[in-house]
Amino acid sequence: MRVGVLGAGGRVGQVLCREILDQPDLELAVAVDPRLAGIDLGQVIGRPAGGLVVVGDLEACLRAGVDAVVDFSVAEAARPALVRLAEAAIPAVVGTTGFTPEDIEVIGRAYEASGAGCIIAANFSIGAVLLERCVRLVAPYVDSIEIVEAHHSAKRDAPSGTSRELARVAREAREAAEAGPLVADPTTHEVLAGARGALGPGDIRIHALRVEGAIAHHEVIFGLRGQTLAVRHDTLDRSSFVPGVLLALRRVGEVRGLVLGIDELL
């Protein structure tokens, strides 16, 4: 399978380029990153020069005849890129975050029309998928739910796509179980604005930390009378995303239209 990587010079993009190069059934055909155009990819990812030069435009993927594209760029660039890839019927595996619901709708319509497949996941680590399953199991039985996340200090969007997805999963699980509303927030006055975090799906509070040295950490805290339960996932290295991305790459050819998350692929 010939693969193109968008955002090849990013933190995750570099890891994925190295991994794809090491896979016997995958060929890294194109590495796209406008900031690094013209530089040998080996210099970018800490490998010997191999002759694959980073390019700055998406059209290189189309000219190279790739079988699939992995996108770990930024939402502003990914939105039009994914619509263009859909028009060319090129499958995509997307870990870029920061999309709005309207973005997802537009991308989904484009891929439905093309007949190709697109997998967008807020988090490709297997542990994060298992965290979602835990949330789905526990959410109907509790009175309170809050989410605390911590990410590296360079992350541009807040809260993370993973936190919003966790809140959505909790809301859906409660609705399916007809669990009723969560206990109302007793706070009547915030001494410091924003102290109670942001309201996510299902009116679940999300608290986003940006901390030097962190990578990605998500904790869901459940409360009920006289007790709490906390479930947490920590990404300690960006290599944790690799198995999920490779799984999605190898399966995206079977997908038609848009799939959110990799849970159903496991």
List binding-site positions for NADP(+): 47
Mean pLDDT of 136-148: 98
Mean pLDDT of 139-151: 98
Task: Report whether 251 contacts 91 (CB < 8 A).
Answer: no
C-alpha dist (Å) from residue 23 to 5, 11, 50:
14, 19, 16
Task: Report whether 217 contacts 151 (CB < 8 A).
Answer: yes
| pLDDT for the residue numbered 2 | 97
Q: Is the dihedral of CA 30, 32, 38, 39 positive or negative?
A: negative
pLDDT band at 129 (very low <50, low <70, confident <90, very high): very high
**Can you tell me whether residue 94 is helix, strand or coil?**
strand
Longest dimension (CA), the chain: 62
Please state, rounded to an integer, the average pLDDT across all residues of the chain: 95
List binding-site positions for (S)-2,3,4,5-tetrahydrodipicolinate: 152, 161-162
Catalytic residue among 151, 207, 217, 218: 151
pLDDT in tens, 12-67: 999 999 999 999 999 999 999 999 999 999 999 999 988 999 999 999 888 999 99
pLDDT in tens, 104-128: 999 999 999 999 999 999 899 999 9
Task: Report whether 211 contacts 193 (CB < 8 A).
Answer: no
List binding-site positions: 7-12, 40, 47, 95-97, 121-124, 152, 161-162
| pLDDT for the residue numbered 179 | 97
Report residue 22 as tokens. Answer: 């090491």
In terms of residues, how long is the chain?
266
List binding-site positions for NAD(+): 7-12, 40, 95-97, 121-124
pLDDT band at 156 (very low <50, low <70, confident <90, very high): confident
Angstrom distance (rounded) from CA 213 to CA 152: 6
User: What pTM did the predictor assign?
Assistant: 0.85
Q: Percent of the chain at pLDDT above 90?
A: 92
Task: Report whether 70 contacts 81 (CB < 8 A).
Answer: no
Confirm whether 2-124+239-265 and 126-235 share one CATH topology: no
Angstrom distance (rounded) from CA 129 to CA 143: 23
Backbone angles phi, psi at 55, to 5 degrees: -110, 165
CATH fold group of domain 2-124+239-265: Rossmann fold (3.40.50)
Instruction: Identify the CATH class of 126-235.
Output: alpha beta
pLDDT in tens, 10-27: 999 999 999 999 999 999
| pLDDT for the residue numbered 266 | 86
Domain range list for the chain = 2-124+239-265, 126-235
151 among known catalytic residues: yes
